[in-house]
Structure 1
Amino acid sequence: MTQFFLPFLAWFGLINRHTLKADFFAGLTGAVVVLPQGVAFAAIAGLPPEYGLYTAMITPIIAGLFGSSLHLVSGPTTAISLVVFSTISRYAEPGTEPFIQMVLTLTLLAGIYQLAFGLMRLGMLVNFVSHTVVIGFTAGAAILIATSQMKYVTGIPIPKGESFLHTWMDVGRDLAATNFHVLAVALFTMLSALMLKRYLPKLPHLLFGMVMGSLASIALGGTTHGLTYVGEITGQLPPFSIPDFSLGSLKQLASGAFAVALLGLIEAVSIARSIATKSQQRLDGNQEFVGQGLSNIVGSFFSSYAGSGSFTRSGINYSAGAQTPLSAVFAAVLLALIVLLVAPLAAYLPVAAMGGVIMLVAYNLIDFHHIKHILHSSKAETSILATTFFATLFMELEFAIYMGVMLSLMIFLMRTSMPNIVDLAPDPNEPRHKLAEVNDHALQECPQLKLVRVDMSIYFGSLDKVQRELACIVEKQHIKHVLILGESINFIDLAGAEMLVQEAKRLKSLGGGLYLQGAKNKVYDFMDRIDFMDDFGNGNIFSSKEAAITSITKRLDHTICATCDKRIFRECAGLPGAALVR
């Protein structure tokens, strides 16, 4: 219990001179990387640039100390920033005091949701969100982010609050109004960043792009040609802030905060697991929920908006040799020192250069490799990808997230409701006539006894599939004895048990029987509690395949056995007519 509330005690013992050095330099790298990202993400969220930096100072410290991952770095992210903007912009003008106040309240609510999920041990819920949904949503969010920057990189006057379609209609209609000085600065920023990333990938390419964009704007004459600037950032540590606790605001933002909380948890846990596969670390999903929740709750009182795990910064943190979450703490502290020194220089940063950097960030969000793989491998996954992608573009972002979660649950339910039912038979090529799949080995089957393996649980969602398969065996194959091999059945619920009893009685009335062998102990324990054995028949449940086949073959119609030429079971040798079979 102590480790749950004070998880940093588990890794404090790992700290030594070597880890401190590694974490310091990893933190320094992270601080340099997050400087331009924090400013860019704040712009996406509709906030003054310093709020992205405040978030990058507070969130990673709390999330690092109270999460479970050794390498996850939290802070402002593109997708969360976009959802924050989408949620609050309908109630207040971006960048204004009321907007900022509502963002802080949204952050607090999202943190409370996340903390509650963690305390309720609901960390496994993230497993039900399909990776395809996350890819589709992220790709859609990237397009929206790029769209929102068109007015900044082209200079075309586009009214605030325009939808995705209306923005592109405005761009097409007013293309002649493009300010080529603005466009040149944006393109030069992107080109500079891309060139540095290609030839010197270890250096902070986004920061380099911003510097080159600033120099380009000076060379082109700056404000005399319509270029605008971000303005001087307040060079101070995150100031204390108080979210709005009024009942009206809480009710107004509750739904949007839930979407932010859900997306933040999906991002953080997915990234943490991705890195954990490389570092061989075991993660605690519930602890990650607690860490993310506390980071947003605390952050809302220190001028920070909602954050989550960052794939870019977490990956860089791991690659830079970080050993413990102290690297995230070092990154936050070093960022604070850097901000105090370089904040005034933001007055020379053109908005066009910032737009160019955000365009690059948006492009990097699109996972082209996995999208291509999905399009070529599965029609079902492609439909899910397309649905989530277009919902993100044309609907409210919160609704797109909920739709993605619902689609994920539907996929899960569809897959579990259609268990794979495999026909089995003894393989004569095996020394002990081991059971094998009929279709894979072209095996002969007994005309009176059907052996099937159910590869999934028998519960209320899968009853229809199991019943249809049993009906097909009886009606089309005219087999009345069915043995279910249950080693692959994870559980049977009450509805499943009642269905098996019903089918057993139906087959018995036809002169046959339904039998069960090899179920797991927890399945048998459940059956004992509901008196399943009595209704199903104790003589129809077996502990071994040999015992099951030996017992059932004695119940078959031996007049049919006398003329049968299959004789696939070793037990057939003792039945009438065996001598007639060659």
Structure 2
Amino acid sequence: MNLQALFPFLSWFKLITKESVKADFFAGLTGAVIVLPQGVAFATIAGMPPEYGLYTAMITPVIAALFGSSFHLISGPTTAISIVVFSAISQYASPGSPEFISLALTLTFLAGVYQLAFGLARLGVLVNFVSHTVVIGFTAGAAVLIATSQLKHITGIPIKSGSEFLHTWVALFSGIGQLNIYLLIIALTTLGISILSKKYMRKAPNLLIGMVVGSILAVFFSSFAEGIKFVGKIPAQLPPLSAPDLSLATIKTLTAQAFAVALLGLIEAVSISRAVATKSGQRINANQEFIGQGMSNLVGSFFSSYAGSGSFTRSGINYAAGAKTPLSAIFAAVALMGIILLVAPLAQYLPIAAMGGVILLVAYNLIDFHHIEHVLKFSKSESAILMTTFFATLFLELEFAIYLGVLLSLVLFLAKTSIPEIPAISIDVSDDGNRRKFIDLDQKPLRECPQLKMIRIDRSIYFGSISRIQSRLAEISDKEGIRHILIIATGINMIDLAGAEALAAEDNRLKNMNGGLYFVDMKPSVYEIAAKSGLIKKIGSNNFFDEKSKAIAAIYKNIDKQKCVNCKALIFKECSAVIIPEGLSKSRQKPKQQDEDRELHEDAGLTVLHHPLAGQV
């Protein structure tokens, strides 16, 4: 087996130079400073002690960088994954408790197993079936939930932990008299400073600056105000070893939730890596990215890390900072370890209200207002999916909202592919008659042959689309009275067994009416499928052509020549000579034509003469 298949990092190790190491080091250092406040905030959202967010930011990016495919993706704790972890585990244990931590690590392990299995099974293509609109809707809903979960910390109004969305807002309004104005000032100051520093000091760690100012304000208020709580001291240590609870009962309890975490994590990671790759020019291997994410969560669960995925913010900053290889993610993790060993004790001065202000800003940045506005304006079907996913995230279990979003994506995909475009085709003849071009009738109104219909099917022929195709074929034969139908197959990418059987049935129906179904320009891969399914044998190999001119010449022999006598279309070259039955009046023919073109048709005893209207098109 190829070593690079087992150890994909060997492929980019060869790209490391002195210059790339320098660029990766400074990009990693920037990432470490950025993830410090984010890690604490995300762990708070997940219901985990603050240090677990930092542990996740140390272990997950290293493993994902070694086994993934993206040069710039930075993995670690994320907001969406964190809130799903909280939603999944809080129903079984109290947030922050040892039982909660144990279940979260088990959830992470199972999610990693799912992701690794998907990658090894080469199922990376599945991400393509999840609409970006679903991700936008879910993320927006998760952002609202995240902001809602912080209201009790920035207002001081007692709200029962784990309360549902509506219950939280009801409790907030009913307890408005218990508002702690000092907590609100700390949160809003932290939020305001973070926004201003981002605006006027673009390269500075704005969240960290906001938290420092909020902490100073909280220390000042705590000397005379009550109810100001602090995060507490974070252990100045590297990620300790841990053991997920792998008992059968626990695994059965968390199987469904772990699948949701795995799916969301893969969608996030692949979407972000592809978005960054469009700027860097790198090609992303979705299957390898699945393996990288799976390995990072699986290994991370044994080093006190909860579920993580790709971070759009940190990945974008990593690329903008000049990172050249995944070594930047490793440098970021190592730098974070050093920072934690030095500044972890200072976390005891970090107020929870300031953390709430930072999380509000993180939640706001999650909402893609521009994309949402675009969807609502221009697509009703996408708008329905967006709103359904958004409200499902707010009012249903989060893992069910993810499943619903994926299901809606698949339904949308199947709905689009089940109604293929089937344009009618005709021939555009130049004025001098020397140039002939096949063209859609939607683009230009042209005459059509009244006996031979040419159409193009622009999507795959499978069980979902065959009903639409059969209806179109029936419309042509029954309403237009055309029995010979030529399908230009350039747009067909696949024909399944149901599609092959339906096409054979349509050909048999047309043959019973002295017509037939014909195909031209079929792709070799599709032709091979048609042969294996028995379609070619049932219809007949003579009905399949490589060139349009040969197809028309062959089909023309089977049409009713009597109808050609009075035809005014004359779009084919073959129309220049029409077969007229013996005994039919020849008064319409010019003497010169009779002398030059009279022939005896040996098979049917027919005389071939120039059509009186030929050449007038």
TM-score range, shorter chain: over 0.9
Within the alignment, does 1:464 sit opposite 2:467 as a pair? yes
Give the greater-gyration-radius structure (CA). 2
Within the alignment, does 1:444 sit opposite 2:464 as a pair? no
Alpha-carbon distance between aligned partners in 2 of 1:193 and 1:527, rounded to the nearest angstrom: 62
Judge which range, 462-471 or 169-178, deviates more.
Answer: 169-178
Within the alignment, does 1:288 sit opposite 2:321 as a pair? no
SS in 2 for 1:271: helix
Deviations 1:505-545 (CA, angstroms, capped at 9, x unpaired): 11111121111111011122223334432310222111110
Alpha-carbon distance between aligned partners in 1 of 2:284 and 2:223, rounded to the nearest angstrom: 50
Q: Which runs of 5+ in 1 are unaligned?
A: none
C-alpha contact 2:33 2:205 (8 A) present in aligned 1: yes
Within the alignment, does 1:499 sit opposite 2:532 as a pair? no
Report the counterpart of residue 534 of structure 1 in structure 2: 537
Report the counterpart of residue 330 of structure 1 in structure 2: 331
Report the counterpart of residue 265 of structure 1 in structure 2: 266
C-alpha contact 1:416 1:462 (8 A) present in aligned 2: yes
SS in 1 for 2:538: helix
Report the counterpart of residue 199 of structure 1 in structure 2: 200
Q: Which runs of 5+ in 2 are unaligned?
A: 580-609
SS in 2 for 1:321: coil
Deviations 1:444-469 (CA, angstroms, capped at 9, x unpaired): 21111110000011111111010000
Q: Give the 5 Å matches for 1:540-555.
A: 540-555=543-558
Report the counterpart of residue 29 of structure 2 in structure 1: 28
Alpha-carbon distance between aligned partners in 1 of 2:501 and 2:257, rounded to the nearest angstrom: 42
Name which of 575, 579, 582 aligns with 2:612: 579
Within the alignment, does 1:50 sit opposite 2:51 as a pair? yes
RMSD: 1.2
Tell me which amino acid in the other structure corresponds to 1:338. I
TM-score (normalizing by structure 2): 0.93
Deviations 1:73-121 (CA, angstroms, capped at 9, x unpaired): 0000000000000000000000000000110111111111111111111
Compared with structure 1, are the counterparts of its residues 163 and 530 closer, same or farther at alpha carbon in structure 2 (3 Å cutoff)? closer
Within the alignment, does 1:110 sit opposite 2:111 as a pair? yes
C-alpha contact 1:4 1:287 (8 A) present in aligned 2: no
SS in 1 for 2:612: helix
Tell me which amino acid in the other structure corresponds to 2:523. K
Report the counterpart of residue 456 of structure 2 in structure 1: 453
Deviations 1:277-310 (CA, angstroms, capped at 9, x unpaired): 1111111111111111111111111100000000
More helix by share: 1
SS in 2 for 1:452: strand
Alpha-carbon distance between aligned partners in 1 of 2:369 and 2:511, rounded to the nearest angstrom: 56
Alpha-carbon distance between aligned partners in 1 of 2:318 and 2:224, rounded to the nearest angstrom: 38
Report the counterpart of residue 145 of structure 2 in structure 1: 144
SS in 1 for 2:436: coil
Tell me which amino acid in the other structure corresponds to 1:434. K
SS in 2 for 1:483: strand
Within the alignment, does 1:434 sit opposite 2:467 as a pair? no
What is the percent sequence identity of the aligned residues?
60
- Per-residue deviation, 1:491: 1.4
C-alpha contact 1:153 1:183 (8 A) present in aligned 2: yes
Alpha-carbon distance between aligned partners in 2 of 1:119 and 1:560, rounded to the nearest angstrom: 62
Within the alignment, does 1:19 sit opposite 2:20 as a pair? yes
Within the alignment, does 1:220 sit opposite 2:253 as a pair? no
Alpha-carbon distance between aligned partners in 1 of 2:359 and 2:541, rounded to the nearest angstrom: 68
Tell me which amino acid in the other structure corresponds to 1:143. V
- Per-residue deviation, 1:416: 1.4
Alpha-carbon distance between aligned partners in 1 of 2:537 and 2:12, rounded to the nearest angstrom: 53
Alpha-carbon distance between aligned partners in 2 of 1:487 and 1:223, rounded to the nearest angstrom: 78
C-alpha contact 1:222 1:228 (8 A) present in aligned 2: no
Alpha-carbon distance between aligned partners in 2 of 1:359 and 1:346, rounded to the nearest angstrom: 19
Name which of 548, 567, 570 aligns with 1:567: 570
Q: Give the 5 Å matches for 1:94-173.
A: 94-173=95-174
Deviations 1:399-444 (CA, angstroms, capped at 9, x unpaired): 0011111111111111111111111101124953110000211122
Tell me which amino acid in the other structure corresponds to 2:421. N
Moved over 4 A (4+): none
- Per-residue deviation, 1:143: 0.3
Compared with structure 1, are the counterparts of its residues 223 and 385 closer, same or farther at alpha carbon in structure 2 (3 Å cutoff)? farther
Deviations 1:7-26 (CA, angstroms, capped at 9, x unpaired): 00000011111011000000
Alpha-carbon distance between aligned partners in 2 of 1:96 and 1:414, rounded to the nearest angstrom: 46
Alpha-carbon distance between aligned partners in 1 of 2:299 and 2:535, rounded to the nearest angstrom: 52
Deviations 1:548-569 (CA, angstroms, capped at 9, x unpaired): 1111122111111111111122
Alpha-carbon distance between aligned partners in 2 of 1:39 and 1:534, rounded to the nearest angstrom: 66
Alpha-carbon distance between aligned partners in 1 of 2:530 and 2:133, rounded to the nearest angstrom: 37
Alpha-carbon distance between aligned partners in 2 of 1:295 and 1:222, rounded to the nearest angstrom: 44
Within the alignment, does 1:512 sit opposite 2:545 as a pair? no
Report the counterpart of residue 231 of structure 1 in structure 2: 232
SS in 1 for 2:282: coil
Report the counterpart of residue 478 of structure 1 in structure 2: 481
Alpha-carbon distance between aligned partners in 2 of 1:312 and 1:429, rounded to the nearest angstrom: 57
C-alpha contact 1:105 1:245 (8 A) present in aligned 2: yes
Report the counterpart of residue 559 of structure 2 in structure 1: 556
Aligned residues: 582
SS in 2 for 1:487: helix
Compared with structure 1, are the counterparts of its residues 136 and 222 closer, same or farther at alpha carbon in structure 2 (3 Å cutoff)? farther
Judge which range, 516-525 or 191-200, deviates more.
Answer: 516-525
Alpha-carbon distance between aligned partners in 2 of 1:383 and 1:103, rounded to the nearest angstrom: 33
Alpha-carbon distance between aligned partners in 1 of 2:112 and 2:535, rounded to the nearest angstrom: 45
C-alpha contact 1:154 1:183 (8 A) present in aligned 2: yes
SS in 1 for 2:490: coil
Compared with structure 1, are the counterparts of its residues 125 and 69 closer, same or farther at alpha carbon in structure 2 (3 Å cutoff)? same
- Per-residue deviation, 1:223: 6.8
C-alpha contact 2:76 2:309 (8 A) present in aligned 1: yes
Tell me which amino acid in the other structure corresponds to 1:194. I
Deviations 1:488-515 (CA, angstroms, capped at 9, x unpaired): 1111112111111111111111121111
Alpha-carbon distance between aligned partners in 2 of 1:328 and 1:376, rounded to the nearest angstrom: 39
Report the counterpart of residue 8 of structure 1 in structure 2: 9
SS in 2 for 1:250: helix
C-alpha contact 1:419 1:465 (8 A) present in aligned 2: yes
C-alpha contact 2:68 2:289 (8 A) present in aligned 1: yes
Report the counterpart of residue 94 of structure 2 in structure 1: 93
Judge which range, 407-416 or 72-81, deviates more.
Answer: 407-416
Alpha-carbon distance between aligned partners in 2 of 1:157 and 1:384, rounded to the nearest angstrom: 35
Q: Which has the higher contact order (CA 8 A, sep 6+)?
A: 1
Report the counterpart of residue 375 of structure 1 in structure 2: 376
TM-score (normalizing by structure 1): 0.98
Tell me which amino acid in the other structure corresponds to 2:252. K
SS in 1 for 2:460: coil
- Per-residue deviation, 1:222: 5.1
Deviations 1:103-153 (CA, angstroms, capped at 9, x unpaired): 011111111111111111111111111100000000000000000000111
Q: Give the 5 Å matches for 1:353-432.
A: 353-429=354-430, 432=435
Tell me which amino acid in the other structure corresponds to 1:295. S
C-alpha contact 2:182 2:225 (8 A) present in aligned 1: no
Report the counterpart of residue 210 of structure 1 in structure 2: 211
